[in-house]
Amino acid sequence: MSERKATIASRVGLHARPASIFAAAVGELPIEVTIGLEADPVEDAMDASSILSLMSLGAANGDVVVLRAEGEGADEALEALVKILETDLDAE
């Protein structure tokens, strides 16, 4: 199981447009990815390809989230996803 931490950079947090962009990127991957707040238990992690899950996570600007994935290419996939989360998608 690969794991990466990311700090949410979007000014409004992981809501609406940033959640949509991130969920679309996860949905293109051939592996399952979960996301959870750093302080939450592993079993509370949610499906990272679901916009509803991302929005209900309540990750605000500056919050640290944990991404987890398993399978071939998981490390590379998580690195790419971290870059998305650590970009202010509201500024683009």
Tell me the three state secondary structure of residue 64: strand
66's enclosing H/E stretch is strand 64-69
15 given a catalytic annotation: yes
- Spot the catalytic one: 6, 10, 14, 15: 15
Give the residue numbers marked as catalytic.
Answer: 15
